[in-house]
Structure 1
């Protein structure tokens, strides 16, 4: 008891020294908590990216605590505890804004149904199929890049959920799992144009009939749900003329995951039927017509010499 009384008397006799000791105790406590929390995060968090960000954030928050303690002890300018908490909260928000946005993004994705696992999306310029969504990241199997068409590249991409607030999200399968595709076919001017039109449309109708049938009901739901005009889902053909050929543009609807194979089947069937016309319809290629060849006169002059 005498020891405690003597310590109390010493603190009362030397207020400046006592404040410094209290300040050092608080600082030591903050550093201890930072070290303990970082060790706990290191053991319990398995994602290295999240582990790194959280550990850095905890460290910065600890520094903010030390700054507030320093101001309150040595300047006395912060008397209102609510103001101190407000400043600390603002600091935490700035420090963890990416983390907070990612968590908020996961709730937004879930409740608004921006996308779900299995959807094909394009987010932050990266296109792929969603294979997982957690509280921080959206995981996609990438398509495109160095491979043609909509094929998998083999890379798995993790994107922060915060990107749903930072730019557009393109969803290939939300509400309407079909897309419109098109390609051009050059036909020679000497071909039977009506026969060519019949071949292309009939082949498209046969190959795409299942897609057209399934897309009609889906498109009606889209028209009823959104402010959008009705669109034609049947294959359509547009014809334009160029200097070298007649260009047939086939536009059609297809399952968003089957663009490549569908285009292959269409080209194969249309090419087969064109070959069966025995020359009535033929493919065109770039041609060059030589209008005039300039005349080249070569005069051979024979030199002779007179011998004396």
Structure 2
């Protein structure tokens, strides 16, 4: 009992107990506020932001309390202690510090937000969660073609926002340019083929074109960027086997695969209605017969 009493009188033990008590109180307060926000705020996006803000403020307070508890009493050695402590923390917890700093950076500068489609560290997908340490992504691609979910959920350290490029498909300009190639035979009516493809593209993409033009005007005002052609365009390429018509168009970043499928389907139907004036080309192989040979056998 005497040893326990002496231990409880130790200033260092008192500091640790007091600091631990404050950490527990802050942790309980964070959980209470998160539950309160969940009950009171109906809007999912706004509720998510408030909950993450509470979490980050709580972590900041905990770190601040730990620093103040072990440095404030010894003001003479304050510089030395802080220097050694900072050096040790920076060396051993550099990834953790970068991750926490990355989360503040992501929220403060709107690098991306939940619901955005991004590509970071070679991984592409939709952001489904951002916390103080990790960004959680519903992965796309890998063994699955085009913009389809693979089914895997990937957690990426927030520190990666300082280490490489972040490709955001939906921030400021939620449209992407895409292309499809239609091969036609050399015997086809090229001008008719161009008219068919452009008509289908404009008819199918009219809503995207109008919306993208309004958004692009805002982009030109905000960034140092040249004006771009948003209407569908066609470029012709001559190959050894066929004439290739390259259609370039703009579409919603979430409907790239569906748009390409619908364009191909409608273009094929329109070409079939020309009754041979335009024909889709394919690779062909021509077999040449060998010349007749007269073979005589001598006995």
TM range (shorter): 0.7 to 0.9
TM-superposed CA distance for 1:94, in Å, is 1.4
User: 1:218-229 counterparts in 2 under 5 A?
Assistant: 218-229=215-226
Matched, 1:139 2:139: no
Corresponding residue pairs, total: 244
Tell which deviates more after alignment, 242-251 or 94-103.
94-103
Query: How high is the TM-score relative to the length of structure 1?
Result: 0.72
Q: Tell me the residue number matched to 2:246.
A: 249
Q: Tell me the residue number matched to 1:297.
A: 293
Per-residue displacement from partner, 1:179-220 (whole Å, max 9, x unpaired)? 000011110001111111111000000001010011001011
User: 1:91-110 counterparts in 2 under 5 A?
Assistant: 91-110=88-107
Partner Cα separation in structure 2 for residue 214 and residue 206 of structure 1: 14
Partner Cα separation in structure 2 for residue 300 and residue 108 of structure 1: 89
Q: Tell me the residue number matched to 1:75.
A: none
Structure 1, unaligned runs of 5 or more: 1-24, 45-64, 66-78, 304-308
Tell which deviates more after alignment, 85-94 or 247-256.
85-94
Partner Cα separation in structure 1 for residue 92 and residue 298 of structure 2: 95
Matched, 1:196 2:190: no
User: 1:43-192 counterparts in 2 under 5 A?
Assistant: 82-192=79-189
User: 1:196-275 counterparts in 2 under 5 A?
Assistant: 196-275=193-272
TM-superposed CA distance for 1:174, in Å, is 0.5
Q: CA RMSD in A?
A: 3.1
Query: How high is the TM-score relative to the length of structure 2?
Result: 0.74
Per-residue displacement from partner, 1:113-152 (whole Å, max 9, x unpaired)? 1001110000111101111111111111111111111011
TM-superposed CA distance for 1:96, in Å, is 1.3
Q: Which runs of 4+ in 1 moved over 4 A?
A: none
Per-residue displacement from partner, 1:88-132 (whole Å, max 9, x unpaired)? 221012111111111111111111110011100001111011111
Larger Rg belongs to:
1
Structure 2, unaligned runs of 5 or more: 1-9, 29-69, 71-75
